[in-house]
Chains A and B, each alone.
Chain A
Amino acid sequence: MSDKLSLKIALAGNPNSGKTSIFNSITGARQKVANFPGVTVEKRVGHRKYDKYDITFVDLPGTYSLTAYSLDEKVARDFIINEKPDVIINVIDGGNLERSLYLTMQLIEMGTDLVIAINMWDEVLESGIKIDIEKLSTLLGAPVLKTIGNRAQGIDALLDTAIKLAENGEELHHHPPVTYGPRLDDIVANLSGEVAKCKSCNSCHNPRWLAIKLLEGDTDVKNQCFSDKQEKSHLVKVLDESVAHLKSTSADDPEIIVTEGRYGYVAGIVREVMQRPPTDRMKMSDQIDNLLTHRILGYPIFLFILWLIFQATFAIGEYPMAWIETAVGYIQSGAGQVLPDTALTDLLIDGILGGVGSVIVFLPNIVILFLGISLLEDSGYMARAAFLMDRLMHFLGLHGKSFIPMLMGFGCSVPAIMATRTLESRRDRILTILLIPMISCSARLPVYVLFAGAFFGAYAGNIIFSIYLIGIAATVLMARIFSRTILKSDETPFVMELPPYRRPTTWSVIIHMWERTRMYLKKMGGVILIASIILWLLGYFPKIEEYSQDYEAKIEQLVLSNQPDAEQVISELKAARAAEDLQYSFIGRLGNIVSPMVAPLGFNWQMGVSLIPGFVAKEVVVSSLGVLYFLGEDIDESSDNLTQALRNPEGGITGAAAYAFMIFILLYTPCLATVVAIKKEAGTKWMWFSIIFQCVLAWTGAFAVYNILSLFGL
């Protein structure tokens, strides 16, 4: 597409202003959108060919201002400074004009080419707020447009304006300078004059913006401006003089004076362009919150909602699960009859179909769980959960905001770990990252569903709920320990926006669910398929050369002998042969090493072996068990499914061992993808800490649970 001209457009705005939904509408991407602050933690890139341009769109994390205090603000600011996008689309929540414009002012000060999109225009109309768009545009010196991001309205007009701006920026944008009142303006003018002379800083940006940032005491800008030693001394002198002058005339420090000036300017604009109706747009939300964050009912409702989601995951998921199970069984037996009896057929039926089949069964559970989570996120309840949980999280040495990543951890640890970027302090981030793997992610669900279903029948839903609760308890305990030992430090502030409740749009929920489903299927196609094949190979080779007895001859003899119990003896012999095969194979040998280690937990060797590939992804535990149990058997004869195979008393698994196994799965080393995410977010040291710590914790926990439950005769 070399004939297309390339453009770079960034989307900036407050958290929860709907940048991502506009981004999705423009690029057709399917990024996750939710109704709580801080969903986009990394900048995301998308492309769109429009008119004669090939446009790169960058969705920046939401920020309230452009200071360098939290990581996502830094990401946004660095992008604007270093990458110099051609146009910035500033997405504004129409219901919250004042605070949104506070950021807009800073973008204007930076001297960027700006298009302002007043998003959620439908809500603005509904709530009766009147905004004079034309006047706003004149006052800001930038084009202002109305959009409804989640319904893709106003998007083309937005693109047209952005392109026009990029083509002839000079003509369209005449930002009037933000005035801070005569006193401050003089000082800013003086300082920016000095900054403009200075080579090391004026190379990159608007001197006026730099001057203001210097007055605000922005450390990043200071470091950059003062990089040249010669110029530094002069600039420091001028800055100190300005600050001293300001301090002499006012009780407040310069930072406050600057922000007051900016807010004053914004307030002036808002007064002129906006008319607020007498009714509060939060009225509805307040009424809902009267119930959902009620003093007494708040927690029970919260727990009930979580319980409902997990119960639905199991109870409703059961039906499609049974259909898929049957379908996989038909395919397996059908393939067994059609294909020749070779090693490759065995690989296909037992390895691939057996492995992937036993995981695909859990797809309905995953879909339902994510339906629940996305409803919570999109409605705005997630932020209320943080509000409710803050006092309790405080007890853990964290704040309510950490609760959101942790809650996401119930879905998948990887995005949860990514979401910790919204936390301001590194200490909070590391603590949250260490705790997330203990929250039971959805990949562990198949293991619970399998074992709880096999051993606890009608109580399965409650048993799984108890596992989740134990996960939460372990998280609480470890948080207390960590925040008092290795991660001792002051806490960071908890100030968070509570967005109005919104009706989740069907489209957004579908996108969300589809993304998760796709991820799950992709994981199965990739990692789990490979793990299944490797595992099958490990179980199939090396081939035994000499059995302890000549099975073939004996079976043949029996077939010919017409003995009354021949059938039974034959199947016993076959099973014995299969067991010998397995024990001789690589897996058998591996199992022999692992078994003594997990024997105190009541696990049989199949369970022990399945834990090893479980490191790749926790669902693989189920597929491994599938492969391990059916490996030796002739698939035509076996009508047993995995559940029955596990329950078979010969396997030697007691209820206590099954429960201990679920505990072990809950707590042991996070999957490969999570480990990679931890390494990326917290560093190698914490990654190793997490791996080793979790293994030790899992073993100890499972050991305790097994022995206690065994005492009660389970």
Chain B
Amino acid sequence: MPWFGFGRRRRRQKRRGQCRSFLKGSGTLAEMNIGQKARVVRIGGSGQIRHRLIDLGFHNGETVEVIRTAPLRDPIEIAINGGRISIRRSEAALVNVELIPAYK
């Protein structure tokens, strides 16, 4: 699902609600924006990919933060457990999260 675009494509995406928007409440890791923090609520997927996510520290209740995205917007860099992990958006979409509101 392309969430970027210009002109007509962008407007079409907006109409269909496909364009990038700040995550509110809950959603997946892939939808989060740089600087947002969230709590993991569920790991989807199956088999190898799910295992890899779990092994790298994704589990229920863990806090994650999106640090940055790669120049081509994919993959994204996540702060988890005091370390940094690079993950593709397609895989980040398997992790359901609940946003932690930012207090300033």
Q: Interface of A with B (CB < 8 Å)?
A: 64-65, 67, 69-70, 95-96, 98-99, 102, 255-256, 259-260, 263, 276, 280-282, 285-286, 289-290, 293-296, 298-299, 383, 386-388, 390-392, 394, 399-400, 424, 492-500
> Which residues of B are found within 8 Å of A495, using beta-carbon distances?
49, 52-53, 56, 85-88, 91
Within 8 Å by CB of A498, from B43, B50, B84, lies B84
Tell me if B23 counts as interface (CB < 8 A to partner A): no
Contacts A64-B52, A259-B59, A493-B88 known; 15 new A-B pairs at CB < 8 A: A96-B83, A255-B50, A282-B79, A289-B67, A383-B86, A390-B75, A391-B72, A394-B74, A493-B53, A493-B91, A494-B86, A494-B87, A494-B91, A495-B49, A495-B56
Q: Chain B: which residue is nearest A424 at the CB level?
A: B48
Q: Give the dominant DSSP class at B's interface.
A: mixed
> Which residues of A are found within 8 Å of B51, using beta-carbon distances?
65, 67, 69
> Which residues of A are found within 8 Å of B49, using beta-carbon distances?
492-493, 495
Q: How far is the CA of A696 from the CA of B15 in the complex (A)?
A: 52
Most buried by B among A386, A387, A492, A499: A387
Report the minimal beta-carbon distance from A216 to chain B, rounded to whole angstroms.
9
Tell me if B1 counts as interface (CB < 8 A to partner A): no
Given A69-B51, A400-B75, A498-B85, A388:B67 Cβ within 8 A: no
Given A99-B57, A99-B83, A400-B86, A293:B71 Cβ within 8 A: yes
Report the minimal beta-carbon distance from B49 to chain A, rounded to whole angstroms.
4
Docked-complex contact A387 and B91, CB < 8 angstroms: no
Within 8 Å by CB of A388, from B52, B55, B70, B82, lies B70
Tell me if B31 counts as interface (CB < 8 A to partner A): no
Q: How far is the CA of A69 from the CA of B86 in the complex (A)?
A: 19
Docked-complex contact A294 and B88, CB < 8 angstroms: no
Docked-complex contact B82 and A497, CB < 8 angstroms: no
Given A293-B68, A494-B91, A387:B55 Cβ within 8 A: no
> Which residues of A are found within 8 Å of B84, using beta-carbon distances?
282, 285, 497-500
Tell me if B81 counts as interface (CB < 8 A to partner A): yes
Docked-complex contact A260 and B86, CB < 8 angstroms: no
Q: Chain A: which residue is nearest B45 at the CB level?
A: A493
Within 8 Å by CB of A282, from B43, B52, B82, lies B82
Most buried by B among A256, A281, A500: A256
Within 8 A of A (CB), among B23-79: 43, 47-57, 59-60, 62, 67-75, 77, 79
Q: How far is the CA of A98 from the CA of B81 in the complex (A)?
A: 7
Q: How far is the CA of A100 from the CA of B71 in the complex (A)?
A: 30
Q: How far is the CA of A285 from the CA of B62 in the complex (A)?
A: 22
Report the minimal beta-carbon distance from A482 to chain B, rounded to whole angstroms.
21
Report the minimal beta-carbon distance from A358 to chain B, rounded to whole angstroms.
43
Q: Chain B: which residue is nearest A270 at the CB level?
A: B81
Docked-complex contact B83 and A496, CB < 8 angstroms: no
| Closest A-B pairs by Cβ, 7 of them | A64-B55, A391-B72, A493-B49, A498-B84, A298-B71, A387-B86, A65-B55
Q: Interface of B with A (CB < 8 Å)?
A: 43, 47-57, 59-60, 62, 67-75, 77, 79, 81-88, 91
Given A492-B48, A493-B52, A494-B91, A388:B85 Cβ within 8 A: no
Within 8 Å by CB of A69, from B52, B57, B82, lies B52
Given A95-B83, A282-B79, A386-B86, A289:B71 Cβ within 8 A: no
Docked-complex contact B82 and A280, CB < 8 angstroms: yes
> Which residues of B are found within 8 Å of A388, using beta-carbon distances?
70-71
Q: How far is the CA of A496 from the CA of B57 in the complex (A)?
A: 12
19 pairs, CB–CB < 8 Å, chain A vs chain B: A64-B55, A65-B54, A98-B57, A98-B81, A99-B83, A280-B79, A294-B71, A387-B70, A387-B75, A390-B86, A493-B49, A493-B52, A494-B88, A495-B85, A496-B86, A497-B56, A497-B84, A497-B85, A498-B85
Report the minimal beta-carbon distance from B19 to chain A, rounded to whole angstroms.
19
Q: How far is the CA of A383 from the CA of B91 in the complex (A)?
A: 18
> Which residues of A are found within 8 Å of B53, using beta-carbon distances?
493, 495
Docked-complex contact A102 and B67, CB < 8 angstroms: no
Given A282-B79, A495-B53, A295:B59 Cβ within 8 A: no
Docked-complex contact A391 and B86, CB < 8 angstroms: no
Given A64-B55, A493-B48, A390:B88 Cβ within 8 A: yes
Report the minimal beta-carbon distance from A36 to chain B, rounded to whole angstroms.
11
Docked-complex contact B77 and A387, CB < 8 angstroms: yes
Docked-complex contact B91 and A281, CB < 8 angstroms: no
Report the minimal beta-carbon distance from A312 to chain B, rounded to whole angstroms.
25
Report the minimal beta-carbon distance from B58 to chain A, rounded to whole angstroms.
9
> Which residues of A are found within 8 Å of B52, using beta-carbon distances?
64, 69, 424, 493, 495
Q: How far is the CA of A301 from the CA of B52 in the complex (A)?
A: 31
Report the minimal beta-carbon distance from A263 to chain B, rounded to whole angstroms.
5
Docked-complex contact B81 and A391, CB < 8 angstroms: no
Report the minimal beta-carbon distance from A123 to chain B, rounded to whole angstroms.
12
Most buried by B among A99, A289, A399: A99
Docked-complex contact B85 and A96, CB < 8 angstroms: no
Docked-complex contact A69 and B83, CB < 8 angstroms: no
Q: How far is the CA of A224 from the CA of B53 in the complex (A)?
A: 26
Docked-complex contact B83 and A286, CB < 8 angstroms: no
Report the minimal beta-carbon distance from A415 to chain B, rounded to whole angstroms.
23
Report the minimal beta-carbon distance from B77 to chain A, rounded to whole angstroms.
6
> Which residues of B are found within 8 Å of A386, using beta-carbon distances?
86
Most buried by A among B67, B74, B88: B88
Q: How far is the CA of A295 from the CA of B76 in the complex (A)?
A: 12
Report the minimal beta-carbon distance from A120 to chain B, rounded to whole angstroms.
13
Report the minimal beta-carbon distance from A162 to chain B, rounded to whole angstroms.
26
Q: How far is the CA of A256 from the CA of B96 in the complex (A)?
A: 14
Q: Chain B: which residue is nearest A99 at the CB level?
A: B57
Q: Chain A: which residue is nearest B80 at the CB level?
A: A99
Report the minimal beta-carbon distance from B48 to chain A, rounded to whole angstroms.
5
Q: How far is the CA of A67 from the CA of B47 in the complex (A)?
A: 11
Report the minimal beta-carbon distance from A4 to chain B, rounded to whole angstroms.
39
Q: How far is the CA of A495 from the CA of B75 in the complex (A)?
A: 9
Most buried by A among B47, B72, B77, B83: B83
Report the minimal beta-carbon distance from B88 to chain A, rounded to whole angstroms.
5
Q: Chain A: which residue is nearest B55 at the CB level?
A: A64
Report the minimal beta-carbon distance from A468 to chain B, rounded to whole angstroms.
22
Q: Chain B: which residue is nearest A388 at the CB level?
A: B70
Docked-complex contact B56 and A99, CB < 8 angstroms: yes
Given A99-B56, A260-B60, A391:B74 Cβ within 8 A: yes
Q: How far is the CA of A493 from the CA of B52 in the complex (A)?
A: 8
Q: How far is the CA of A294 from the CA of B70 in the complex (A)?
A: 8
Q: How far is the CA of A256 from the CA of B81 in the complex (A)?
A: 19
Q: How far is the CA of A263 from the CA of B81 in the complex (A)?
A: 12
Most buried by B among A70, A399, A497, A500: A497
Docked-complex contact B71 and A299, CB < 8 angstroms: yes
Report the minimal beta-carbon distance from A61 to chain B, rounded to whole angstroms.
14
Report the minimal beta-carbon distance from B98 to chain A, rounded to whole angstroms.
16
Q: How far is the CA of A296 from the CA of B43 in the complex (A)?
A: 33
Q: How far is the CA of A260 from the CA of B81 in the complex (A)?
A: 15
Q: How far is the CA of A394 from the CA of B72 in the complex (A)?
A: 11
Q: How far is the CA of A102 from the CA of B86 in the complex (A)?
A: 20
Docked-complex contact B81 and A99, CB < 8 angstroms: yes
> Which residues of A are found within 8 Å of B77, using beta-carbon distances?
289, 293, 387, 498
